[in-house]
């Protein structure tokens, strides 16, 4: 099995050494440089990384990632996309090899992804990701928040758990300036795609444009295609953050996905702030009865702090 770890890169010279060291067990390390001016390509080459240069104008992530994928040698069996602000945790290669051998039908593998941190070494948001796949049969789709889509007949699209971990160590200096325009393009290209409309509303929220964010979430919730309960519940939670009466929106969130803790714990905190102690205790007890943490990106460590919730109950 020949494994390539690759990504696109723009002005990542400061991250190359850490990235390459974490992926040292790969048979090939490769980046597609999209126009760096800080010497990323030279630093990468010095660390044994195969560098290709791609020009994407106007820039969009799917075009860049497809160019990076196309630049990989044809004899690669498995591709792991690891961005430059991410690292593979030790033991990833043996875990992938075991999964590959155990499931010869597989064309995609999943792993644990740690997106953010409460403190160094203490994960906050962590979920199941699956940007590990066969060399052929896949294409990236979407101007931003791009996803892998089948590009031909596959043995199966189902992602087989591989049992390794990738960690995200975000660069706070990186700008999100281009995201809003790219999300607007994505929504325009796919007006019936609820995922991109959700992300567009969320991006407005991040920028503090609450009128646009609220309108976007309301539009998202009205879409017939917006059927994922977890995402719908999250939209209501965002609206609650922007409203003078958050309680009703949090109750909507709970109704959308009663098996999630997130909005329940939000209500615990709201009731405590309002000195409604009996109601806070009731919601904390309800949260504790939910014992399965979902494998998506929308739940945080705060929600799973059982010790804090037990203290509210008592």
2 phi and psi angles, rounded to 5 deg: -100, 125
- Is the pLDDT at 135 greater than 90? The verdict is yes
Report the number of secondary-structure helices (H) and strands (E) in the chain.
12, 12
Predicted local distance difference test score (pLDDT) of residue 194? 98
Taking the C-alpha atoms of residue 241 and residue 266, their distance in angstroms, rounded to an integer, is: 10
Count CA within 13 A, CB hemisphere, residue 285: 8
The predicted-structure confidence for 166-209, as pLDDT tens digits, reads as follows: 999 988 888 888 899 999 999 999 999 999 999 999 999 999 99
Cα-atom radius of gyration of the chain, to the nearest Å? 21
Name residue 128's beta-bridge partners: 112
Among the residue ranges 106-110, 173-177, 290-294, the one predicted with the least confidence is 173-177
Query: Residue 25 in 3-state DSSP?
Result: coil
Taking the C-alpha atoms of residue 267 and residue 269, their distance in angstroms, rounded to an integer, is: 5
Query: Residue 55 in 3-state DSSP?
Result: coil
Give the rounded percent of residues in the chain with a pLDDT score beyond 70. 99
Taking the C-alpha atoms of residue 133 and residue 148, their distance in angstroms, rounded to an integer, is: 9
Domains in the chain (CATH in brackets) are 3-168 (3.90.550.10), 179-313 (1.25.40.10)
Interval 268-276 mean pLDDT: 98
Predicted local distance difference test score (pLDDT) of residue 102? 96
Predicted local distance difference test score (pLDDT) of residue 152? 78
Element housing 94 (H / E): helix 92-102
Taking the C-alpha atoms of residue 266 and residue 281, their distance in angstroms, rounded to an integer, is: 12
Predicted local distance difference test score (pLDDT) of residue 155? 62
**Are the C-beta atoms of 111 and 167 separated by less than 8 Å?**
no
pTM tops 0.75, yes or no: yes
**Are the C-beta atoms of 4 and 93 separated by less than 8 Å?**
no
Interval 85-110 mean pLDDT: 96
The predicted-structure confidence for 223-245, as pLDDT tens digits, reads as follows: 999 999 999 999 999 999 999 99
Query: Residue 277 in 3-state DSSP?
Result: helix
Predicted local distance difference test score (pLDDT) of residue 173? 82
Indicate the pairing of strand 86-88 with strand 160-168: antiparallel
Joined together, the tokens standing for residue 282 give 């009731």
Name residue 109's beta-bridge partners: 132, 160
Q: Which residues contact 203 (CB under 8 A, 6 or more apart)?
A: 176, 179, 180, 183
Residue 166: exposure state from Cβ atoms within 10 A (0-12, 13-18, ≥19): buried
């Amino acid at each position: 099995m020949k494994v390539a770890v690759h990504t696109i890169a723009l002005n990542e010279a400061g991250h190359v050494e850490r990235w390459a060291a974490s992926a040292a067990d790969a048979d090939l390390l490769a980046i597609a440089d999209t126009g760096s001016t800080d010497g990323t390509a030279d630093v990468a080459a010095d660390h044994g990384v195969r560098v290709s240069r791609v020009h994407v104008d106007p820039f969009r992530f799917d075009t860049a990632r497809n160019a990076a994928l196309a630049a990989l040698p044809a004899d690669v069996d498995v591709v792991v996309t690891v961005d430059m602000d991410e690292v593979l945790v030790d033991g990833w290669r043996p875990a992938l090899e075991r999964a590959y051998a155990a499931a010869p039908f597989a064309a995609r593998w999943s792993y644990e992804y740690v997106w953010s941190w409460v403190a160094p070494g203490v994960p906050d948001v962590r979920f199941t990701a699956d940007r590990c796949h066969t060399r052929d049969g896949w294409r990236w789709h979407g101007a931003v928040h791009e996803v892998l889509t089948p590009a031909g007949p596959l043995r199966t699209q189902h992602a087989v758990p591989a049992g390794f971990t990738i960690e995200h160590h975000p660069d706070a200096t990186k700008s999100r300036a281009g995201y809003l325009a790219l999300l607007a393009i994505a929504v325009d290209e796919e007006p019936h795609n609820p995922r991109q409309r959700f992300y567009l509303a969320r991006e407005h929220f991040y920028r503090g444009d609450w009128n646009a964010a609220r309108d976007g979430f309301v539009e998202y919730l009205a879409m017939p295609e917006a059927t994922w309960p977890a995402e719908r519940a999250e939209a209501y939670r965002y609206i609650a953050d922007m409203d003078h009466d958050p309680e009703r929106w949090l109750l909507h969130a709970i109704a959308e996905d009663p098996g999630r803790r997130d909005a329940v714990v939000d209500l615990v905190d709201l009731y405590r702030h309002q000195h409604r102690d009996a109601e806070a205790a009731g919601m904390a007890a309800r949260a504790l009865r939910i014992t399965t943490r979902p494998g998506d990106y929308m739940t945080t460590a705060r929600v799973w702090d059982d010790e804090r919730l037990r203290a509210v109950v008592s």
